[in-house]
Amino acid sequence: MTVVTKDIWTIDAFSARRYQGNPCAVVFDADDLSQQQMQMIAAEMNLSETVFLLSPSVVEADYRARIFTPRAELPFAGHPTIAAAFAMVETGRFAPEQEPAIISQECTAGLIPVTITESGLEREFVMTQLPPRFRDAGIKPELAAEMLGCKVDEIGSTPIQAVSTGNWMLAVPVRSAEIVAALSPNSSLIAATCAPLDLNGVAAFSIGALTADCSVKVRVFAPHHGIPEDPVTGSANGGIGGYVARHRLLGDPPIRYTAEQGTELGRDGRVAVEVDSGPDDGLVVRVGGAAVKVLEGRIAV
């Protein structure tokens, strides 16, 4: 019996060091795979996300990406976007003709441009996410504290809000980086709370970090997607960037900062966040970082 196989890589995003940042599986030439096959492969890989590279369906895009957690397809996610752009460049499917280069990713949420720059041997990939949207999820500090495993007075004073730059998350401000590091989340309560509200997880963050080169600390929990804690989350960091700008937590935009995430999982990552004022009183959010290949092979379908 003939077995169909596909080239597959794993790439650590938001780090230039292997075995740090967030690992993502990238499956190439996936046009002939069904949604069921993609979901089965994502469940088999059992990473936060697996991204499948397909031919674009619109002329403005260089490629199309479908992104799956172990349990569901997402319209957009950050670290698979970084991993996909990295894979397109490394395999020569996209050849930068100028510095910086811009590659356009088509995904369910829309077109995501990724700017690629090089500094020495390291490339940085910076995606312009969708304009941030906000809504009240009806979550009180008492429930947020119970979900995160902290005291009510350790929740910040700014609103608990749902925010999306392509992927809805619950943004929960926490009063210090030390509290964020010590969180002990209640996975079953997070899942039971987020799923009915169409939220993909809870993003807890603080202004202030535990390392000198960072200004924000982030942890993200998405157990109903099979992700008890995500190592480094590009979409959540984009949403948090929009939140930080909207509530002037680091001053008026434009703002620039580096966020730390993944330390508690031994997957230390760095996320560069930029937020500028946009048209119609909106915000433009850019999120970026490095990437490195860890594994390449073939997977049977």
Domain 133-288 is found in CATH 3.30.420.40? no
- Where along the chain do its domains lie? 5-128+290-300, 133-288
> Token pair of 56, please?
């674009």
Annotated catalytic residue, options 49, 154, 260, 274: 49
Residue with tokens 């004022």, as numbered in its chain: 277
Q: What does the pLDDT read at residue 3?
A: 85
Give the β-pairing of 216-222 and 255-261: parallel
Residue 80 carries which DSSP code? H
Residue with tokens 């999120």, as numbered in its chain: 287
Q: Which of 50, 48, 107, 85 is nearest to 291 (CA)?
A: 85
Q: What is the CATH number of domain 5-128+290-300?
A: 3.10.310.10
Active site residue 49: yes
Q: What does the pLDDT read at residue 118?
A: 86
Q: Which of 186, 188, 185, 161 is nearest to 173 (CA)?
A: 161
Strand partners, 67: 51, 74
Q: What does the pLDDT read at residue 46?
A: 97
Side-chain half-sphere CA neighbours of 149 within 13 A: 12
Side-chain half-sphere CA neighbours of 40 within 13 A: 8
Residue 195 carries which DSSP code? G
Side-chain half-sphere CA neighbours of 155 within 13 A: 21
Rounded Cα distance between 258 and 213, Å, is: 7
Q: What does the pLDDT read at residue 195?
A: 96
Q: Same CATH topology for 5-128+290-300 and 133-288? A: yes
pLDDT tens track of the chain, all 301 residues? 678 899 999 999 999 999 999 999 999 999 999 999 999 999 999 999 999 999 999 999 999 999 999 999 999 999 999 999 999 999 999 988 778 999 999 999 999 999 999 877 789 999 999 999 999 999 999 999 999 999 999 999 999 999 999 999 999 999 999 999 999 999 999 999 999 999 999 999 999 999 999 999 999 999 999 999 999 999 999 999 999 999 999 999 999 999 999 999 999 999 999 999 988 779 999 999 999 999 999 999 9
Q: What does the pLDDT read at residue 281?
A: 79
Q: Which of 81, 78, 79, 49 is nearest to 64 (CA)?
A: 81
Q: Which of 61, 111, 41, 116 is nearest to 291 (CA)?
A: 116
